[in-house]
Amino acid sequence: MPRPKPVVFGLYSWTPDYGYRYIHPANRRSFEWLEPVGKVFEKIDETDDWISLRYDEQQFLVSPELFKELYQKPAFSFGDQVRTAAPPLHQGLISDVYFHEATDTFRFQLVEKKRKLKQVFELDELVGE
């Protein structure tokens, strides 16, 4: 039985200024709305022409040219249950994962009681459940 592929994390720093040839036509509008710069994607599949990226519950087909693999893995990923380490206390699910290239650090946003918190948290501000 073949072993499952390990999850590959990476960045896809596309903006509309690059043009739309990098994004599969079926995904253009939703990918543009996502505003992908700085967000961490999971690469889940690839063909000769396209790679399939996942962000939270969405999947996108994009050109492999702009994908930049991250060799470190985030401590938390989409849907992980976490809480804040210090007051004010929040508890929820990871909804967004960001990577700050200048500092090589991950940052996270939460959904608490079906509402996305505006605050973006550093790793040391969160504890896994």
Q: How close are the terminal C-alpha atoms of the chain, in Å?
A: 32
- Residue of 9, 8, 2, 1 whose CA lies nearest to 104: 9
Query: Which residues in the chain belong to E strands, given as ranges?
Result: 8-12, 40-46, 51-55, 58-62, 67-70, 81-84, 91-100, 105-112, 115-122, 126-128
Q: Which amino acid is at 54?
A: R
Q: What per-residue confidence (pLDDT) applies to 5? A: 74
Residue that the structure tokens 């990476």 belong to: 10
Distance of CA 1 to the CA centre of its chain: 29
Cα-based distances in Å from 82 to 38, 39, 91, 110: 21, 19, 6, 8
Q: What per-residue confidence (pLDDT) applies to 129? A: 85
Run means of pLDDT, 10 residues per run, the chain, 129 residues: 78 95 96 96 93 95 97 95 96 97 96 96 96
